[in-house]
Chains A and B, each alone.
Chain A
Amino acid sequence: MSQDTLQDFAGVWIGKMSELVQTIIGSGPIKYIVNWSRMYALWPVHITTACCSAEFGAMMGPRLDPERFGMQAVAGGLRQCDLLIVEGTVTKKMAKRLKIVYEQMPKPRYVIAMGDCACSGGLFHDSYSIVNDVHKLFPIDVYVPGCPPRPEALLSAIVKLREKIRRQEVFA
């Protein structure tokens, strides 16, 4: 048997085995365990794009305490994070950096657009330096309107995102 055919055979075999493993993980109780662990480990990237960060801080504060949902207060490096909260207006200068931050995050990653500006431009929609369509940079899971949204609204968005994660497929 030549080298090429051996590699082909091995590739097919590994492919079939990994398919089998994926079906086992993706259908059985393991799926629920994986999703459950992802639900309780939402670490947000701390990239403040504009002024909604004040309400993000209030959400992280003692009154609402998101750590009961497994949110680490503020994780330093974005390589450990899986939740990107776009906190407010995205300017053209910041949009490039925001895109890089999103690309550097490990999968699976989720995005919450916080505030009117991140949803659709909001109060500054007619400004010359604003990106109105943040959803063209990356897919957004939950939109939170408000200028700025109340901390309770942001927390309810996180609860909605957890519900989405609970029902998702492991290998999407």
Chain B
Amino acid sequence: MTTEPPSPGISISKTAEPSTLDVSVGPQHPGSGHCRILIRVDGDYIVSADPDIGYVHRGCEKIAEYRNYVSNIPHLERPNIADAIHLNWGYVLPIEELQGVVVPPRGKYISTIAAEMNRIMSHLYGLAIMQGVFSGHTTIFMWAFGDRDLFIELAEMLTGARLTYSFLVPGGPRRDLPFGFEDRLSRLLDYFEKRLVEYDRIFFSNPSVIARAKGIGVLKREDAKKLGVVGPVLRASGVKYDVRKVEPYGAYADLEFDIPTFEEGDSYSRYLIRFEEMKQSVRIIRQALEKIPKGPIARKAPLVAPEGEATGRVESSRGEITYLVMGDNSDKPSRVKIMNGSFRNLIALPFLVRNVHVADMPIIYGSLDYWPVEADR
């Protein structure tokens, strides 16, 4: 009898019931990796699914307890480097609240511009890999990644790094807008709006994409509320909830934007909601560039935070991120707790992939825009 090592790829084993099979998908699979999904199939239909997470658990919350407030910023934005500004901002907000530091208006506007640029980059990444590659559409992968690099160039001009910016510290952003930045950004937005029309033509109005994604993985409004999903997944099910409107932070209170919602709650509407959000982000950046006031960008914040606890909520591109920071009169936090969108949206996966074809699972998984590193922390 040969003993073959358990494959980290796709492996199949028999179950007690004769008509079903257990299939282990991951952590090495053609998709995104670092998450294993154990599915039980009956023929071509999925009976049940059980996500096995924790392959990238790096103990961010524990590390945060033995580094000081500013040294925590780099490693707390690593969990989601496609969306680094939002993770950074969520951590900085409660510290500012504890210390009683108020960021000047110009600093808030710069943070908002950076955050919305990051939202576009993150949605383009999701469009390219989670939605494009998973539905077998290689063209949109190339297009979206090419356009994402243009935004990355501007982010590099503003912050000095491609993906991991560490741009916001308690007190405000680290740098002012560089010379010529506004001009380049508004020209890029002009170009990007033209590209959005082309994305619509090649991907969202594509009959093959509609046939694969429409009506697949329907999450009803009531179920979405009960499961506690957040962000685009919640809004695609018809719940109009966005932290930027409910509890405005940064410069969002001064800016006009809509919250796109869809009633269907299927994979296709989850695709579309990110497309609509990119349009809103373009609108927000345009307004912020017009309205940005003059003045200082940051205040000097102390390195020590007083005793007490504070929470910060931001709307990241994968949903709401909540940070709880507890201070104890020292330069290190005594506890940092992170709740993020990816983890809360993954809860919906076992319910969505029940009684669907195996080939529909990548579509549903991609429509959740799940980022395993963020969920595992």
Contacts and interface: CB of A to CB of B under 8 A. Distances in A.
A50 B373 contact: yes
B285 interface: no
Nearest to A49: B34
A114 B319 CA distance: 29
Contact of A51 (B55, B62, B63, B79): B79
B112 to A, nearest CB: 23
Nearest to A63: B149
Interface stretch (B4-12, B220-228, B294-302): B4-12
B366 to A, nearest CB: 14
A97 B5 contact: no
Contacts of A62: 142, 145-146
Given A100-B7, A101-B28, A63 B146 contact: yes
Contacts of A123: 74-75, 78
B159 to A, nearest CB: 14
A118 interface: no
Nearest to B138: A73
Interface in A45-79: 45-51, 53-55, 57-58, 61-63, 73-74, 76-78
Nearest to B9: A78
A124 interface: yes
A54 B82 CA distance: 7
B28 A47 contact: yes
A127 B125 CA distance: 28
Contacts of A23: none
Contact of A126 (B28, B63, B138, B145): B63
Contacts of B30: 46, 74, 76
B78 A94 contact: no
B205 to A, nearest CB: 22
B129 A103 contact: no
Contacts of B75: 123-124
A109 interface: no
A129 B63 CA distance: 11
A38 interface: no
A130 interface: yes
A2 to B, nearest CB: 33
A166 interface: no
B128 interface: yes
B59 interface: yes
A93 interface: yes
A97 B29 CA distance: 12
B137 to A, nearest CB: 13
Contacts of B162: 55, 148, 150
B62 A127 contact: yes
A127 B59 contact: yes
Interface size class of A (residues with CB under 8 A): 35 or more
Interface string A88-112: 0101011001001101100000000
Nearest to B149: A63
B145 A91 contact: no
B229 to A, nearest CB: 23
A147 interface: yes
B59 A57 contact: no
A91 B56 contact: yes
Contact of A97 (B27, B74, B149): B27
Contact of A54 (B56, B63, B125): B125
Contacts of A49: 33-34, 55-56
A128 interface: yes
Nearest to A130: B58
B32 interface: yes
Contacts of A148: 81, 162-164
B195 interface: no
Nearest to A47: B28
A58 B145 contact: yes
B215 interface: no
Contacts of B164: 147-148
B54 A93 contact: yes
A129 B58 contact: yes
A9 to B, nearest CB: 32
Interface string B19-61: 0000000011110111000000000000000000011111100
Given A53-B33, A54-B81, A93-B54, 15 more contacts: A46-B33, A48-B34, A57-B129, A58-B152, A63-B149, A74-B30, A93-B55, A104-B7, A123-B75, A126-B63, A127-B59, A127-B62, A128-B59, A129-B58, A148-B164
Per CB-CB distance, the 3 closest pairs between chain A and chain B, nearest first, are A48-B33, A61-B145, A97-B8
21 contacts: A45-B28, A47-B28, A47-B33, A48-B34, A49-B33, A50-B56, A50-B58, A53-B32, A55-B163, A57-B125, A57-B129, A61-B146, A78-B9, A94-B34, A94-B56, A100-B7, A101-B28, A123-B78, A124-B59, A130-B58, A130-B59
Interface of A: 45-51, 53-55, 57-58, 61-63, 73-74, 76-78, 89, 91, 93-94, 97, 100-101, 103-104, 123-124, 126-130, 147-148, 150
